């Protein structure tokens, strides 16, 4: 493991480094991946190096790489954004960029690790996310971890030549605690 921060059964989460830009930039330009993100302009490796070089000492952002335990391969990134200490809330995001690794449970495990960290370490009360309604794989992963559907943003995003809806999902501390007590 390389600089592990949170460790799961099949993956671990670690800080991202400038050298990760060569893996990440192509993911963000891939049309199949980009359709689930809020990215509409091409991204060069230099752009990603610049992003990763910025100091990450922010109390309101936690961005980590997703790496496989078996070989340390970086397969994605995840984060808690807009961490708000007064309201004890944050917004969750995730990207599994290595398409060969889709469908293996890595996204669900990363989502679980971040929720656990949010509630059991950061003492947050609410973690929310936005997901496009056609992202069925993502929605299933979020629901497995305990996220619930709260609302629908109708036709809020233009993707592939049409307007699509976005689901608002969240998990509360009390729901997390209840799930942990049952297991």
Q: What is the pLDDT of residues 34-72, one digit of tens each?
A: 888 876 778 888 888 888 877 666 789 999 999 999 999
**CB contact set of 182 (below 8 Å; sequence gap of 6+):** none
Sign of the CA dihedral running 99, 100, 103, 108: negative
CATH superfamily of 6-182: Gcn5-related N-acetyltransferase (GNAT) (3.40.630.30)
Radius of gyration of the chain (CA): 16
CA dist., res. 126 & res. 119, Å (int): 8
Q: What is the pLDDT of residues 173-183, one digit of tens each?
A: 999 999 888 76
CA dist., res. 67 & res. 77, Å (int): 9
Least Cα distance to 126 among 168, 176, 78 occurs for 176
Residue extents of the structural domains in the chain: 6-182
- 66 exposed, middle or buried (CB, 10 Å; 0-12, 13-18, 19+)? buried
Residue 2 pLDDT more than 90?
no
The per-residue pLDDT for 56 is: 67
As a whole number, mean pLDDT of residues 123-149 equals: 97
CA dist., res. 7 & res. 143, Å (int): 21
């Amino acid at each position: 493991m390389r600089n592990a921060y949170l460790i799961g059964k099949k993956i671990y989460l670690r800080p991202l480094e400038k050298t990760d830009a060569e893996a990440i930039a192509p993911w963000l330009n891939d049309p199949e991946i980009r359709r689930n993100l809020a990215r509409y302009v091409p991204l060069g490796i230099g752009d990603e190096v610049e992003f990763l070089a910025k100091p990450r000492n922010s109390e309101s952002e936690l961005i980590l790489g997703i790496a496989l335990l078996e070989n340390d391969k970086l397969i994605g990134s995840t984060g808690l954004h807009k961490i708000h200490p007064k309201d004890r809330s944050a917004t969750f995001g995730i990207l599994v960029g290595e398409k060969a690794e889709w469908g293996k449970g890595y996204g669900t495990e990363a989502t679980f690790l971040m929720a656990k960290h949010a509630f059991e370490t950061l003492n947050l009360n609410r973690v929310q996310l936005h997901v496009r309604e056609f992202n069925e794989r993502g929605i299933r992963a979020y629901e497995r971890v305990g996220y619930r559907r709260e609302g629908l943003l109708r036709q809020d995003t233009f993707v592939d030549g049409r307007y699509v809806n976005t689901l608002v999902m969240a998990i509360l501390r009390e729901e997390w605690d209840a799930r942990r007590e049952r297991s």
